[in-house]
Homo-oligomer: A and B are copies of this chain.
Amino acid sequence: MARINTLAIIGVGLIGGSLSLALKASGSVGRVVGVGRSRANLDEALKLGIIDDVVSIEVAAKADVIFVATPVAQMGTIFGALKPHLGAASIITDGGSTKQDVLAAAQSNLGDRVGAFVPAHPIAGTEKTGASAAFPTLYRDRKVVICRHDSVDPEAVNRVSDMWTAAGANVFPMTAKAHDDVFAAVSHLPHLLAFALVDMLAASPSADDYFKFAASGFRDFTRIAAGSPEMWRDISAANRVALRQQLADYRARLDAFDQWLAGGEARDIEQIEASFSRASHARNAWQRHIEHGESMPRLGAGGQEE
């Protein structure tokens, strides 16, 4: 791949910092410069060798590749600040968890330079934040979704793909709309569901007993409810159209469960078992897939294997 002479990272936390460390480790980048709001965090990033310099956003705009790794709600403002100073061959990409809103923000704020923007989402992270949480192998064998759009420069897509490959990741193309639907289903909805349950139990007069007797199943089910409220608020708001669609399907399923439980006849209980059984079958197949690389059964069409 073509080496990146200068990489600018805007928001030098776990996501941005780990990309720098991965590219440095593979010799794929020359100089890395950082932009951020917290001087203490930037000093930490300098000390850890994540960035070589702290620069202004005007200087960052001249880099070969500019990686925007801030919360998605801030990206529109950042694109607007980059635009007037952007280098003629500079490429912009991001690491946000939602893509239609980020693409719309780029279209509004980058104007005739939107072709230089490549929306991307690395599927990796930990519960930790800040430059000190970054490590060079965060992206090894992880997936990165890259979303082409109508006006994107194909050469910019290739450079961003190569960058992520050099960082150890596997790149998957997807439209921004398909991306947001998939992650509403497998990430944003589960987070909302876990937050909703823990908030409900904490608000109950029986809260003390609930948390006293909660065990390992509860621990795993609610682990994602320990996440950052601000980050998940932003993601929920940014992807609210797709999230509401998934939530509507899910609420309809809970309505059905309630009717079966209310009925309580043998045919109702059979429906409950049938749903549990399809879920258990799919979940166990997926576990074997992620652990041992077994192929997934064909799902869909009512949850039946074909």
Considering only residues 195-218 of chain A, those with a C-beta below 8 Å from chain B are 195-211, 213-215, 217-218
How many copies of this chain sit in the oligomeric assembly?
Answer: 2
Considering only residues 247-294 of chain A, those with a C-beta below 8 Å from chain B are 247-251, 253-255, 257-258, 261-262, 264, 269, 272-273, 275-284, 286-287, 289-290
Query: How far apart sit A182 and B213, CA to CA, in the bound complex (Å)?
Result: 8
Shortest Cβ distance from A233 into chain B, in angstroms? Answer: 4
Chain B contacts of A88 at CB under 8 A?
Answer: none
Residue of B nearest to A190 (CB): B221
- Could you tell me how many residues of chain A have their Cβ less than 8 Å away from some Cβ of chain B? 96
Residue of B nearest to A284 (CB): B226
Interface membership of A154, Cβ < 8 A: no
Interface membership of A161, Cβ < 8 A: no
Interface membership of A31, Cβ < 8 A: no
Chain B contacts of A213 at CB under 8 A?
Answer: 123, 143, 145, 172, 182-183, 186
Interface membership of A25, Cβ < 8 A: no
Interface membership of A178, Cβ < 8 A: yes
Q: Is there an interface contact between B199 and A275, defined as CB atoms closer than 8 Å?
A: yes
Task: Identify A272's interface contact among B233, B248, B249, CB under 8 A.
Answer: B233
Given A207-B300, A250-B254, A299-B208, do A230 and B273 touch, yes or no (CB 8 Å)?
yes
Chain B contacts of A198 at CB under 8 A?
Answer: 278-280, 282-283
Shortest Cβ distance from A217 into chain B, in angstroms? Answer: 5
Closest 9 CB pairs of A and B: A207-B299, A229-B276, A203-B303, A202-B282, A198-B279, A229-B277, A233-B273, A199-B279, A195-B279
7 more A-B contacts (CB under 8 A) besides A185-B206, A203-B278, A221-B223?
A187-B218, A189-B197, A198-B279, A199-B276, A207-B282, A227-B280, A240-B264
